[in-house]
Chains A and B, each alone.
Chain A
Amino acid sequence: MAQGQISGTSNRQLSRLSDQVARVVFLACAILLILVIVSVIIFIGSNAFRIFFADGAQGTSFKEFFTVSNWDPTGNNGNPAYGAAGLILGSVVITLLSVIITAPLAFGLALYFTEAAPRWLATLLQPLIEIFTGMPSVVIGFLGLVILVPFLQKVTASLTGGLQLGGYGWGAATLVLIIMILPTVISVSIDALRAVPGSVREASLALGSTRWQTMSKAILPAAGPGLATAIVLGMARAIGETLAVALVLGGDQLPKDIFTPRVFFQPNVNITYKIVQDFGEVSGAARDAYWTLAFILLVISFLFICVSRYLASRSVYR
């Protein structure tokens, strides 16, 4: 009897102890997440500024880095040059262009999907969007390289003057990016539209609105912040997309004639492409320059996430 009581007590102590241990382990795992993101910022940030404070010919200045377009950290053509303006311009141009084209497509599909699609189409679309959300970017890049680039080369031959590497460049990268970000933007938009309560639709329809009036005057404004979040998340994905665009950009420098339509169909550059192409082969000061590029990407994506959180906090319906 007494023994049973003792073992009962120790059992209870044991289970209370394991309860405490489990709690601490779970907490540690949750804190690990914060640790990871903080160390990403610290480690990449601490390497990012070295290039600006190196002495002599090794370093560069903020002004040169952000305003000059001459990227040659290994000094293939003489002195090392760290003008990243061309790379940054490339990333910005293809991101903006792809988002501008993606937005109406994604919103249109999301509207049709949530408001008007027959059931069979909805059941077909759902897995299709999910599969493309997880599509490996290198597969889309391969597709772009094998189909898109030869096609663009043929179509734009008169524009580029039959350039041998014509077809590579911003144009192909933009189209590839559209395929990459479209599923993300669509699924976030669908969530935003679904969050609009049915009473909004009913109120509008009861006033005698047509379907399209209901969509454009009631549902779209009500889902506004959610749709804006979709756009921002799409941009965050587009700016960091690497292998898909790396396979279809194919350039070393920003082309000379950037103010003609030709620029979209000749080999070009962006940030991620340069990192994945060169990072493994450089060292010393040249490698520091690539850390700076990575830090720029990190800061941009962080800003996008902050904007999307701000937009989400402003939306009425979630």
Chain B
Amino acid sequence: MTTQQQVVQAPIPREVRLREQANLVRRLHTGNAIAMGVLVVITTLVVLIFVSIIIWLIVQGASTLINPAFYGMGEDGIAKELYNTFYILILSELFLFPISLAAAIYLIEYARPGPFVTAIHFAAETLAGVPSIVLGLFGFLIFGVVLHLGTSRLSGALTLLCLNFPLGLRLFEDALATVPREMREGGLALGATKWHTIRTVVLPSALPGLITGFILTAGKIIGEAAALIFTMGLFNPANVFTGDPGIASDTLTTRLYYIKGPGGGTLGLTPAQETAVAAGLAAVLILLLLVINLGARGLGRLIQRRITAA
């Protein structure tokens, strides 16, 4: 068929063919240049937006950050919120770290691939997709009402466990999966039990990944707000500097929401002061997250080097 057509068609003159080829090449190259230009513009735009947001937050908060009253106990100070944030960070990591690590150990070391593992991964993905405000309502209902914990730090920490369980599980699974199989086999071949092998061989060599996972979940806990509003409240009792898990607390994030949201104008601050405190809170949060993110990378690498050198 095609050969017949070719026979029937008159031969195209050489210069016409060359011209068409040159046109095609030019068209393709122009298209390529335009497309690549668009990609560069998009990338530059997004990077500029991201970088300027970070810079704007820090610059805007800088004048508040150097104001000593900002670190005090007054309505324009964040001493309580700083304490509460680190308190809730430690309290919820006390639940989150062992439980999600244990679940990850089960999935990586014990479970055989099958419906059970699939079910757990499906559950983890579904839980990760539940909006944090919905988990906040769930925490309010089950921890606050059903378990009678009320609006308290404990309710908040348990809600944060539910919220960050899937993330912790995934991070710790990844950390354990990096340990080569030969190391486990070596331990088992020496006659150690499985748990003994995990304790003495697998966990130490997965340590850099575990620490990275710990730090990344810590970042999520510090940044979370929506899940805490109904479980931990927006207000502080008279004395927050206690270890009591039964009292209501706010955190840096919920304080920021309260000042610019429902509590605006009720704190006895001028709108300018409110915005200044909010800008300071935002700057503190962004600095904490910068430290955490860069720290997670640096620390993981450092420990890796220590261990491999030892």
Chain A residues within 8 Å of B, Cβ to Cβ: 15-16, 18-19, 22-23, 25-30, 32-34, 36-40, 43-44, 47, 104-105, 108-109, 111-113, 116-117, 121, 124-125, 127-132, 134-143, 145-147, 179, 182, 186, 210-213, 215-216, 233, 236, 239-243, 246-247, 272, 275-277, 279-280, 290-291, 294, 297-298, 301-302, 304-305, 308-309
List chain A residues, Cβ under 8 A from B39: 108-109, 111-112, 116
Q: Tell whether B286 is near chain A: CB-to-CB under 8 Å.
A: yes
Looking at the complex, which one of B166, B222, B256 makes contact with A33 (CB distance below 8 Å)? B166
Task: Give the interface residue-count category, chain B.
Answer: 35 or more
Given contact pairs A32-B103, A242-B132, A127 touches B289 in the complex (Cβ within 8 A): no
List chain B residues, Cβ under 8 A from A247: 257, 260-261
Looking at the complex, which one of B119, B125, B146, B169 makes contact with A309 (CB distance below 8 Å)? B125
Query: In the complex, what's the smallest C-beta–C-beta distance from B131 to chain A, in angstroms?
Result: 2
The complex places the Cα of A104 from the Cα of B81 at a distance, in Å, of 39
A-B contact pairs, 5 of them (CB 8 A): A25-B102, A40-B138, A125-B47, A243-B261, A290-B137
Query: In the complex, what's the smallest C-beta–C-beta distance from A10 to chain B, in angstroms?
Result: 15
Most chain A Cβ neighbours within 10 Å, of B50, B216, B253: B50
Q: Tell whether B69 is near chain A: CB-to-CB under 8 Å.
A: no
The complex places the Cα of A300 from the Cα of B294 at a distance, in Å, of 35
Digit string of B42-72 for contact with A (CB within 8 Å is 1, else 0)?
A: 1101110111011011001000000000000
Q: Tell whether B107 is near chain A: CB-to-CB under 8 Å.
A: yes
The complex places the Cα of A233 from the Cα of B131 at a distance, in Å, of 12
Q: Tell whether B127 is near chain A: CB-to-CB under 8 Å.
A: yes
Q: Tell whether B297 is near chain A: CB-to-CB under 8 Å.
A: yes
- Is the beta-carbon distance between A131 and B290 smaller than 8 angstroms? yes
The complex places the Cα of A105 from the Cα of B38 at a distance, in Å, of 10
List chain B residues, Cβ under 8 A from A140: 53
- Is the beta-carbon distance between A210 and B193 smaller than 8 angstroms? no
Top 8 A-B pairs, shortest CB-CB distance: A240-B131, A136-B223, A108-B42, A26-B106, A29-B102, A212-B35, A210-B32, A22-B195
